[in-house]
Structure 1
């Protein structure tokens, strides 16, 4: 290959939008069928799930503190916002729904949107993920005392049907890429993880 052709090929590869990889790079459960050890397979399935769980679309609303994040760089919410006690809906007079409507709202005069869903809220503090390892997130996800009292079967249903979870893949804003894959693949991975013993990474 000539230098010229090499440079052209490099430019083409580097010009592929990162959002493309984010929205398509999630492997379905069948990809892991070659792993014969059920524990290793279960861990591999959960690690695939973390591509979604640790994406900004999910992490921004799963802080371990009281402050939601925004954007792909997960900066603190602007304007400043807090969960307010255990309500997770924001302070009196300025609930999350004050700005987050039932659907995405386009900014006026500038690019961008405010993502929407009814209700819009933070995940409970016991479900905070920012700063946790994959193993710690996994243990928390399985613990009914910290996951909202859910069984493993409840988690499958939650991942498959919850519409607020689904907003991770329904962004209408090109500057806010969706989580990898889609909700159906994420739910299928969750189901396969549970069926293989819901084993957590070390």
Structure 2
């Protein structure tokens, strides 16, 4: 698995950091899909994504994945508990991030986590378990691959690549992630062994 990931990194570096999907009508082979999923997995398991997709009901913070301060909890809809909804601090009109590192980031769409019954956990899963969970509508909010692709355009998802002052963004460029996702999906979304 690690060898596949290293090979993918070297291939991406040699191609200017971009993965491309085959011409229309050509389906990538499963090995190409699994290699593309290595990039997808690296993004999903980056702290920016894992912080809202933890195993428990408290979101995580920072690149070290510490439990969110002030006993913040997922709540019954994923938007926090009554009186402490995510948007109480992470609102659409937050001051710009250049005000300082401790200014809570906002999102025009509204900060939230997945619902409790569809947590879509990214923390601590093997690549195969993550792959199977992501594409399973029973565990991902009822989404097929097309709906998941649309979800990747969500402003809250895209925030991970532009998290503001002093915050580490997702290290894989967004375009590279999307190209890898599309290659993986076009190959039939195969999971690694």
Q: Please, what TM-score do these two structures have when normalized by structure 2?
A: 0.79
**CA contact under 8 A between 2:20 and 2:179: conserved in structure 1?**
no
Deviation at 1:109, TM superposition (A): 8.8
Deviation at 1:183, TM superposition (A): 2.9
Distance 1:59 1:114 in 2: 17
Unaligned segments of structure 1, at least 5 residues: 1-24
Residue 92 of structure 1 is aligned with which of 82, 92, 95? Answer: 82
**CA contact under 8 A between 1:112 and 1:173: conserved in structure 2?**
no
Distance 1:48 1:109 in 2: 33
Q: Which residue of 1 aligns with 2:150?
A: 157
Q: Which residue of 2 aligns with 1:60?
A: 51
Deviations 1:152-172 (A, max 9, x none): 12222222x211111101111
When Rg is computed on C-alpha atoms for both structures, the one with the higher figure is 1
Deviation at 1:28, TM superposition (A): 2.5
Unaligned segments of structure 2, at least 5 residues: 1-12, 23-27
1:169–1:59 distance in 2 versus 1, CA, 3 Å: same
**CA contact under 8 A between 2:97 and 2:164: conserved in structure 1?**
no
Q: Please, what TM-score do these two structures have when normalized by structure 1?
A: 0.76
1:105–1:77 distance in 2 versus 1, CA, 3 Å: farther
